[in-house]
Chain A
Amino acid sequence: MPTRRTKIPATKYPVERFSLDNGLRVVLTPDRSAPVIGVAVVYDVGIRSEPEGRTGFAHLFEHLMFQGSENLEKLAHFRHVQGAGGTFNGSTHLDYTDYFETLPSNALERALFLEADRMRGPRLTEENLRNQVDVVKEEIRVNVLNRPYGGFPWLTLPPVMFDTFPNAHDGYGSFDDLESATVADAADFFRRYYASGNAVLAVSGDIDVAEATELIERHFGDVPARPAPARPDFAEPDLTAERRRSYTDKLAPLPAVAGAWRVPDPVTDFAGYLPYVVLAEVLTDGDASRLVERLVQRDRTVTSLGGYLGFMGDPFDVRDPTALLLQAHLPPGGDVDKVLRTIDEELDRLATDGLTEGELARTQARMATHLLRDTDAVLGRALRMAVLEQQRGEPGLLNELPRLVGEVTEEQLLAAAATLRPERRASIEVIAGGAR
């Protein structure tokens, strides 16, 4: 079939950046096509920064940021957002924690007020802490303990790949650690990490830049200035010998396996990193991808397959050290060794024989659709730009991603594939304890 290369389109969302005197960085990206706004505040602290003996604390603290603040009773935040017709949430990642709202645009000032109020200080009480420890335990039961494949592989693979506490530990936390958390721990954590100088505010959507700027000054201008803490070095050396572990999941009906390889630093070596992002898709995106064709259709050794960058699937929101992951569920009785061997073989074949005609271009076109689709949601733009500002000082990169992905060459992709050697791989196998 003729292979006319599809032109990759781009978005042109405008970007305004500035900082307040207290060090808060601000990104505005107006788009008046719908009467809605996205508001995101991102703090530069995540799972990797939590202290030993306090696993799960970054996430628990995220919950505490919703429990009232200087001018707001418990429950008030939720009611004020939803009573303005909006939705809210927060999430804790390896390198950052975000808080966000999507709202009709007439609620801009209210959202800024709510975020500024908790940036000045949440109400940290024993009662709220105990209540949220209970809620977080139920969250862990829903997502990990009471279901098959809970925490696979995002919680179960890092301890195989990494040796240091920040990178290896369980970010959801042990019940013991959660129960040991104190109000004083929370106060310390807030003082250290939730500083105006350690945060980025992003507002997207139906805003007037001048008006939004003035409102941001009004509400955030008097948040006390505190500098960002020095960020520790989380670096670890690459693997030099294969690592492999397994565990039995008593609820899982099928075996599963995930493998990971370290990749270049996503921030300081973006050009070296990007080919891996494309490689994951070449290998696993859809029925025409290499590993799906081989493992699912030809060999039938795998029943479902995924490939992505970052333990939380966050290719552009994570710092070093991070990894390319491949994960597969196998049919009943499936042979994990064989699957890993075949993956090695296919990676070899790719690195040696190269791509087929049009294989790269069509994958890049599909990736462009995914990237554009994510930015169509007003909140997606605010969140993504806030993190790009925080980690790179470059929120406008969001507009460039489809083009940059499209510029990755075959040569770069093959060089990336050639580094995914078995001796650099960490893998985790799920033994199907629930097989019938």
Chain B
Amino acid sequence: MTATMETGTRPLPPLGPNRRLKLPKQAERTLANGLTVIAVRRPAVPLVELRLWMPAGRTHLARGATLAQTILSGTATLTATQIAAELQKVGGGLSAGIDPDRLMLSGASLVTGLDRMLEILADVLAGATYPGDWVETERDRLVDRIQVAQSQPAHLARTALLKRVYGKHPYAVQTPEPDQVRAVRPPALRRLHADRVHPAGAVLVLVGDVQPERALDAAEQALSGWNGAGGDGGAEELPPAPPLEPGPLLLVDRPGSVQSSLRIALPAVPRTHPDHAALQLANLVFGGYFSSRWVENIREDKGYTYGPHSLVEHSVAGSVLIAAAEVATEVTAPALLETGYELGRLASLPPKPEELEQARQYALGTLQLGMSTQAGLASLTSAYAGNGLRLDFLAEHAARLAKATVDDVAEVAACYLAPAKAVTVVLGDAERIADSLATLGPVRTESA
């Protein structure tokens, strides 16, 4: 145990045989009102997880955000406080969130409370009332939350990146401005609710210590009367996301920032695309996990940053690969240089076979880990279903991961990870970093 200690000679134990991916027991039913219900059995703890995915394409930004903040604020029979208390009685809780693809209600309760949680959910879906005083309070709270978000560098960097990547597409702006939220009134929320909180195209996922058929019956019993405002729902299809348009680095000024937030967007493909498995592996080799080239370079070798990561993000209208790192202000340009180097190296030279094997094992292993909790399984099932997939796609994806060759990965890396295709945004103190960034290429500066 000294600085000069020699490497020992104990051999690394080999792995045991791979466990086969085993899908849990599940059942699915489409109700007469158009709601799809998927129930998955994982009996580990006596709970049930709930996810209700409702399409929300092209929802008015401020109204949508306010609706998510206030949907649990009362029904004909329950006040907001009573909704919360009644859910608590069965160990339950519900929360709502919205993004440009979907409105989501999620929660969990003791499994003995499933019927009651569904009953309360049905009451909310069919008859949320948006009482004026409650809406006013919650609207102010939403404004406060947006102001806090706007003081966070991660939020500001993401906001700038989305705008730069998506241009005029609905994905370009995902957080409303405080003034837009202040202008939302209850009647608009009731109209939006009637329009969009609709069973058509919605998917309810229930996962837990329950027999799937019994869970489907419970959902049908509680939710078959839900019909929105009739018709077939108001969600609109989103246009495909536009292709990335590379250009000068966008430098967003945040005076006094002690770190710079690097964001690099690269093209990607949806889960079902033939390139997807190989792209996931290429992303891992580049920066998608700790043992990647990028992390080993800019963190473990150079100490520029704490938690760099890159990820393929899937949305209904398109997918994108985003690499993100917060780096010390004084090493902003060198960190970006190394990032471009690692992208270019993978785009122009094939990965080593052992690098690919390591990434493959990670991708396959984390599939197993992701399925091993009720909450993980529920979120995965819901994310898949929202994109038209079912859990059996996991097996197909695992097979593709298992088969991808060095050549396949090299080919997708050349196509998707090429730095020439990158859209780059840096949020930081322009006065301190603009000149050195300009040594690497053209820079356009904006204020935050």
Contacts and interface: CB of A to CB of B under 8 A. Distances in A.
Interface of A: 1, 3, 6-7, 9, 11, 31, 33-36, 70-71, 73-75, 78-80, 82-88, 102-110, 112-113, 117, 120-126, 130-139, 141-142, 145-148, 183, 187, 190-191, 206, 250-254, 285-289, 293, 296-297, 300, 303-304, 329, 331-332, 358, 361-363, 365-366, 368-369, 372-373, 375-378, 434, 436
Contact of B358 (A79, A108, A191): A79
Contact of B366 (A75, A85, A109): A85
A303 B140 contact: yes
Contacts of A80: 12
Contacts of A136: 306
A94 to B, nearest CB: 21
Contact of A138 (B14, B80, B304, B368): B304
A102 B368 CA distance: 10
Interface string B293-306: 00010011111111
B257 A113 contact: no
B347 interface: no
A66 B89 CA distance: 45
B81 A287 contact: yes
The 8 closest A-B pairs by CB, nearest first: A85-B365, A134-B303, A106-B16, A121-B1, A35-B19, A287-B84, A369-B91, A362-B88
A330 B387 CA distance: 39
8 contacts: A11-B45, A105-B19, A109-B13, A138-B306, A141-B259, A187-B2, A191-B1, A300-B140
B43 A33 contact: yes
A300 B137 CA distance: 7
Contact of B368 (A6, A34, A73, A110): A34
B74 to A, nearest CB: 11
A194 to B, nearest CB: 9
B12 A113 contact: yes
A434 B151 CA distance: 8
A117 B13 CA distance: 12
Contacts of A293: 81
A420 to B, nearest CB: 22
A141 B290 contact: no
Contacts of A9: 46, 110-112
B7 interface: yes
Interface in B55-89: 72, 80-86, 88-89
Nearest to B257: A146
Given A104-B369, A138-B326, A71 B92 contact: no
Contacts of B300: 74-75, 131, 135
Contacts of B86: 1
A287 B87 CA distance: 11
A85 B303 contact: no
A95 to B, nearest CB: 24
B8 interface: yes
Contacts of A138: 259, 303-306, 326-328
Nearest to B307: A142
B289 A286 contact: no
Interface residues of B, number: 91
Interface stretch (B29-37, B96-104, B371-379): B371-379
B351 interface: no
B141 interface: yes
A109 B16 contact: yes
A79 B291 contact: yes
B144 interface: yes
Most chain-A Cβ atoms within 10 A of its Cβ — which of B296, B301, B361, B365? B365
A6 B112 contact: yes
Contacts of A105: 16, 19
Contacts of B113: 6, 365
B141 A87 contact: no
Contact of B151 (A88, A135, A253): A253
A254 B146 CA distance: 11
A400 B145 CA distance: 37
B10 interface: yes
Contacts of B19: 35, 104-106, 206
Contacts of B43: 33
A254 B88 contact: no
A372 B109 CA distance: 10
A376 B258 CA distance: 39
Contacts of B111: 9
A188 to B, nearest CB: 11
